[in-house]
């Protein structure tokens, strides 16, 4: 069905199906790069790092995690990670690790909001810390994450996403910023990861004017700390018309959110227009079994996984 995703019937909203994952470096863990095609094009196709294109096109999605840490910094961060540790890690589900569902497979427990009357310059939410089981894949690239996203449009051709991610082999989640420039923009697709303390944090993706650089910037924040930024000209993205709050995994039977009867909670979900933050009224998707999502109040979202055998 054509048209922006937010205009589709609720039963047909498969949120962010074109959202790819391309992971390169997480401290001492190195994974191959991958290229993804949206569902309208076909199943995902893997490529080795050397053959990953340098820039995205309108038909492709690429992700690269960039690590700029020296060996000393790596040692420090690993020490920090050992302090926060895997607190309350969910028990592996009955079929975990199971079989590889294929490169293009994703499951979402999410909510979205489309805007036909205004431009969106940011999205934020307080997202509870979680340490769910990402399961495992033969590729070594299984993950589970929670995030908020500002998309250029309903097809998400260009976005900024911020949240936390736990990948296969991690002892706990990292905070991450993902910059996905519009097709044809000068910028490159990149993900930046940072250590994360055990707490509910405010995650923010926003666009603000930087007088020192003389142009607007897309910023990724943890609390009030700017973790990374990119110019709007680099992103080819001045504002958005579609926002998403979502739990996501790429491995069958992995945990999204928390295990029932517990819930992973988003609060104070807001979008920004003209420097003012407004409460978000999300439309929920219909997650596949065994995942669930609800909206206790406007501006909130919860997701969880049903134990199954």
Number of CB atoms found within 10 A of residue 68's CB: 7
Q: What would be the CATH architecture of the domain defined by 20-305?
A: Sandwich (2.60)
pLDDT score of 46: 28
pLDDT score of 101: 87
Measure the CA–CA gap between 289 and 5, rounded to whole angstroms: 21
pLDDT score of 39: 30
Measure the CA–CA gap between 277 and 17, rounded to whole angstroms: 27
Instruction: State the pLDDT confidence band at 135, using cuts at 50, 70 and 90.
Output: very high
pLDDT score of 63: 34
Residue 186 pLDDT exceeds 80 = yes
pTM confidence score = 0.73
pLDDT tens string 236-268: 999 999 999 999 999 989 999 999 999 999 999
pLDDT tens string 20-77: 333 332 322 223 333 332 332 222 332 233 333 333 333 333 332 333 333 333 333 3
Residue 128 pLDDT exceeds 50 = yes
Adjacent-strand bridge partners of 245: 111, 148
Could you please report the per-residue DSSP string of 94-130?
Answer: TT-S-----TT--EEEEEEEE-SSS-B-EEEEEE---
Instruction: State the pLDDT confidence band at 91, using cuts at 50, 70 and 90.
Output: low
Measure the CA–CA gap between 91 and 134, rounded to whole angstroms: 11
pLDDT score of 76: 33
Closest CA to 244 of 113, 108, 107: 113
Instruction: State the pLDDT confidence band at 230, using cuts at 50, 70 and 90.
Output: very high
Q: Cα angle at 292 between 111 and 152, to 5 degrees?
A: 20
Measure the CA–CA gap between 304 and 260, rounded to whole angstroms: 6
Domain boundaries, the chain: 20-305
Residues 6+ apart with CB under 8 A from 265: 128, 200, 300, 301, 302
Report residue 295 as tokens. Answer: 């909206």
| 10 or 238, higher pLDDT | 238
Sign of CA dihedral 73, 77, 78, 82: positive
Average pLDDT rounded to a whole number, residues 72-83: 34
pLDDT averaged over every residue in the chain: 77
Sign of CA dihedral 230, 235, 241, 246: negative
Least confident window among 68-77, 140-149, 205-214, 251-260: 68-77
Residue 217 pLDDT exceeds 80 = yes
pLDDT score of 94: 59
């Amino acid at each position: 069905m054509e048209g922006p995703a937010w205009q589709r019937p609720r039963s047909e909203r498969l949120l962010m199906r074109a959202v790819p994952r391309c992971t390169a470096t997480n401290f001492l863990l190195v994974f191959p790069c991958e290229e993804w095609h949206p569902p309208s094009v076909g199943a995902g196709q893997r490529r080795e790092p050397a053959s990953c294109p340098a820039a995205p096109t309108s038909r492709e999605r690429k992700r690269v995690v960039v690590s700029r840490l020296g060996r000393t910094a790596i040692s420090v961060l690993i020490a920090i990670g050992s302090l926060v540790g895997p607190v309350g890690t969910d028990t592996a589900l009955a079929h975990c690790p199971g079989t590889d569902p294929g490169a293009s497979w994703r499951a979402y427990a999410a909510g979205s909001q489309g805007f036909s009357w205004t431009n969106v310059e940011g999205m934020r939410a307080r997202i509870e810390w979680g340490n769910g089981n990402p399961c495992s894949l033969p590729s070594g690239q299984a993950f589970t994450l929670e995030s908020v996203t500002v998309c250029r449009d309903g097809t998400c051709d260009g976005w900024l996403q911020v949240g936390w991610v736990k990948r296969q082999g991690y002892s706990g989640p990292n905070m991450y910023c993902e910059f996905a420039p519009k097709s044809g923009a000068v910028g490159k697709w990149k993900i930046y990861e940072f250590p994360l303390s055990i707490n509910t944090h405010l995650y923010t993706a926003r666009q603000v004017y930087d007088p020192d650089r003389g142009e607007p910037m897309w910023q990724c924040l943890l609390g009030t700390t700017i973790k990374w930024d990119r110019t709007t000209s680099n992103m080819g993205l001045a504002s958005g018309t579609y926002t998403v709050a979502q739990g996501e995994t790429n491995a069958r039977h992995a945990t999204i959110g928390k295990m029932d009867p517990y819930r992973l909670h988003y609060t104070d979900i807001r979008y920004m227009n003209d420097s003012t933050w407004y409460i978000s009224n999300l439309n929920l998707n219909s997650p596949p079994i065994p995942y669930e999502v609800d909206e206790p109040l406007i501006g909130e979202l919860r997701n969880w996984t049903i134990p199954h055998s």
